[in-house]
Amino acid sequence: MKDRMPVSAITDDRVLTLPGLKTSGHKVEGVQFAGYSPVTGSANPVGPDEGLFYWFAGTGDYAKRPTIIWTNGGPGSSSFWGFFLENGPYEISMVEGTDPAMVLTPRAHAWNQYANYLVFEHPLTVTISFARDEDAPKTVEQGMEQYYQSLLNFLTKHPEIAKNPIVLAGESYAGTYLPLLAKLIVEGNTKPGGAKLNLCGTVLLDAWVDPWVQMATNTAYAFNHGLISAEQKEILDKNVSLPTVNFEIETLSGCYMANIAQTADPSFDPVMKYLNDDDFRKAVHAPAVGPGTTVTQNWSEVVSKNYTPQVNDSFAHIVKELLEGTVIEGGAKQRILVISGLNDAKDCNFLGTGEWLNKLDGIAAAEFKMAVTKQWRSPDNKQVLGFEQNGGLLSWLKVLNAGHLAVLDQPLLIQYILDALGLSVNH
C-alpha cells in the first residue's frame, strides 16, 4: 500500500529539460507540459495523490494542432509503454557506466511530430499516479470517469488547446477504456454550460472490445498460421476454456503471441529506472523517490484485481452507440477507426476483430460491411502496408508486418490516422 503523500501543488507544469536527453543542455525542443490533474470536479492544483499524472508533448504551433490522447491497456498497464517504447517523443536506452545512465533520443516518426501527444498515467495507483490502494477505482467505469474529469481539468489549465480537435487512441484493453471515454465526452458535450470537446475520432488498435467473441477465434488463428496442428486445435476446442486457450497455444507453438514474427516485448527496465530518477521526477513535477513513491511495477496490481470481474465484458454496444449517435439525445455520431496488426496472435487477433465488427448492426455498420477492401500503401505508393475497409464512419485497417504493438511495428500509422480523420498537414 502506498501512503498518502503530502506534496505541494503544481502550478507551473512546463517541462524545460530532461535528464539524459541528447540535446544541448538536455533542453526539451518544443512545448511540453507535465504534472497532476485532479480526478474530481475541482480544477485547483493538487498534489500527485489526488490526480492523474499527465505528459503533453506539443508539435510545432501546438495551439493550432489536434491533440491525440494515447493510452495503453492492461487493465492497469502503464502508458509509459507508449510514451517511451512505442510512439511517444523519445526512445529510451540504458547505457552502463555513463552519467546519467539513461539516454533519451528523439524518436523517428514520433506522433508528436504530426500532432500534439498527450498521455495520462491511469488509473490511480499506476506508476507515478500515486494513491493508496483503497483509492484506486473499483470499476472500469469509475476509472474512466476519473480520467474524463482529469482531462477536463487539464484543458481548463490549457485553454489554448481546449477547442482543438481531439483524437482518442490506444491498444489492447483500450478497446474497453476508449469507448467509455468517448461516451463520457459525447454526454458531457450535451450538458448545458458544460465543456464542449471537439472529439474527431476514436482509434482502437488490436483492441479488447468483445472478449468472448474474440477469444473464440484464437485456435483458428493459430491453426491458420501454422502454430498448431488440426489435431491440437480439435483438442483445445473441446477441452480448454477460452480465457486460457492462448496460454496452451503459446506452450505448443513456442511463439511470442504478441507478434508471431518476433521474440519479445521491448524491455520496460530502462523506463522503470528512469521513473525512479530524482532528476526526472523534478523535471516533470513529480515527487522525489522515497517511501510510497518508488515505482516497482509497470502496472497496478490493485487495478487489475478490481477490474477482473469486468475484464471479459463486451463494450461493442457502446461502439455501436457512438457510430449511430445514440449515446444520448443530441449526441453527435462518432468516427471509429479499428486497426489490427496481422501478426498479433493474442486475444485481439484480426479474426476476432472481424467477428465483433461483423456482429455490429445499424446504419454505420451496414455501410461498413458493404465497403470494398483496398490496399493501404506507403506515401511513395511503392509498398503495400496493409488493407483498409472504409465504410464512412467505421473503418478497419489490417496492417502487414505488425503485431499487438502495431504503432511500434508500423510508424506510418500516425499518418494513416490523421489522413483518415481529415486532420493531416504537410509534414
Is-contact 393 334, C-beta < 8 A?
A: yes
The amino acid sitting at 353 is T
pTM of the predicted structure, to 2 decimals: 0.95
Q: What are phi and psi of 419, to 5 degrees?
A: -65, -45
The amino acid sitting at 357 is L
Sheet strands side by side (includes 32-38) = 32-38, 51-57, 116-121, 67-71, 165-172, 198-207, 336-341, 394-399, 384-390, 373-377
Which H or E element spans position 337?
strand 336-341
Q: What are phi and psi of 165, to 5 degrees?
A: -55, 140
Pairing type for strands 384-390 and 32-38 reads unpaired
Tallying the residues shown for the chain, one arrives at: 427
Does the domain at 24-209+264-420 match CATH 3.40.1360.10? Answer given as no
DSSP lists the bridge partners of residue 203 as 169, 337
| SS3 of residue 193 by DSSP | coil
Q: Where are the domains of the chain?
A: 24-209+264-420
pLDDT in single tens digits along all 427 residues of the chain:
344 333 334 458 999 999 999 988 999 999 999 999 999 876 555 555 679 999 999 998 999 999 999 999 999 999 999 999 999 999 999 887 656 578 999 999 999 999 999 999 999 999 999 999 999 999 999 999 999 999 999 999 999 999 999 999 999 999 999 999 999 999 999 999 889 999 999 999 999 999 999 999 999 999 999 999 999 999 999 999 999 999 999 999 999 999 999 999 999 999 999 999 999 999 999 999 999 999 999 999 999 999 999 999 999 999 999 999 999 988 899 999 999 999 999 999 999 999 999 999 999 999 999 999 999 999 999 999 999 999 999 999 999 999 999 999 999 999 999 999 999 876 5
Q: What are phi and psi of 195, to 5 degrees?
A: -65, 140
Closest by CA to 18, choosing from 134, 147, 140, 104, is 104
Is-contact 78 40, C-beta < 8 A?
A: no
